[in-house]
Amino acid sequence: MSDPNNPTFGDVHWDTIKRWLHMDPAEDGPVWMVNLMQYKEVAEYHDGRATSLSGKEADDAYAPLGPLAAVGAMVAFHGDVLDQVAGAPRWDRVAIVRYPSRSSFFAMQQRDDFKKQYEHKEAGMAFTIVAGFLPDVLVEEPPVPGASLVMRVQKLNEGVNPLEHVASSPYLTLLADGVVVGDERTWDLVRFDWVTPADIIDMPLGDQVADEIVLVVERAIDELAHSVNTSPPWR
């Protein structure tokens, strides 16, 4: 049986989970869970059933919209990766969910309706990074004509302050609050920018960035600004 506490598609970061579980409820608040997803070519179910579903199709079957709504969460962003400019591994899809609190994120994992759907995620997902972030900079500007939305997940060099690193006029910047599932890497921030095709071709790391994932992403769902503006203070 698939177990949300023991995923096959990434390593659990218990330090983050323990810190969140022991957080003072008075200090808990909204958290934006960023999901980077890499799919299996063909879904593989734990019980060995034959299937023609792709990994992405299995993830579509997973989509826990009911359990999310039940705990007060909302899908703030969802879209396929149109192009990957930098970073590894190759990613297929991005999703960001705003939870009203870290405790609500854990509460959803324990729901029977979530557990019932979870087998589809295990079947379809090859690898994922799931990490919590908090908004820092939001610039509500209309899309630049002809520009693409670029997502940059960054690990900064030691000693670099994420607050000082943020460049001018991002669409949204999120500062890291801990990786929940992934690999050995940790991350400092996620930023979304409107970038013209000419600028996407050459996006160097710069001397402040140690590691970076750069994705051109589809805006199938984009409620990022709404998710921030309708939240109580998160700091």
Angstrom distance (rounded) from CA 175 to CA 189: 4
Q: In the prediction, which pLDDT does 235 show?
A: 54
- Mean pLDDT for the chain? 89
Angstrom distance (rounded) from CA 200 to CA 20: 36
Contact 45, 62 (CB under 8 A): no
Contact 155, 210 (CB under 8 A): yes
Kindly indicate whether the domain formed by 11-229 is annotated with CATH number 3.30.70.100.
yes
Contact 67, 113 (CB under 8 A): yes
Quick one: 184 exposed, middle or buried, by C-beta within 10 A (0-12, 13-18, 19+)?
Answer: exposed
Stretch 103-132: mean pLDDT = 96
pLDDT tens track for 58-105: 999 999 999 999 999 999 999 999 999 999 999 999 999 999 999 999
Which is it for strands 125-138 and 172-182: parallel, antiparallel or unpaired? Answer: antiparallel
Q: Who's near 127: CB < 8 A, 6+ residues apart? A: 9, 10, 38, 89, 183
pLDDT tens track for 8-36: 899 999 999 999 999 999 999 999 999 99
What pTM value is reported for the model?
Answer: 0.92
- 130 secondary structure, DSSP code: E
* pLDDT for residue 7 is more than 70: yes
Residues in the chain: 235
Distance of CA 135 to the CA centre of its chain: 13
Establish whether the linkage from the previous residue to 30 is cis, with ω within 30° of 0.
no
Angstrom distance (rounded) from CA 131 to CA 180: 5
Q: In the prediction, which pLDDT does 6 show?
A: 75
Which is it for strands 172-182 and 221-222: parallel, antiparallel or unpaired? Answer: unpaired
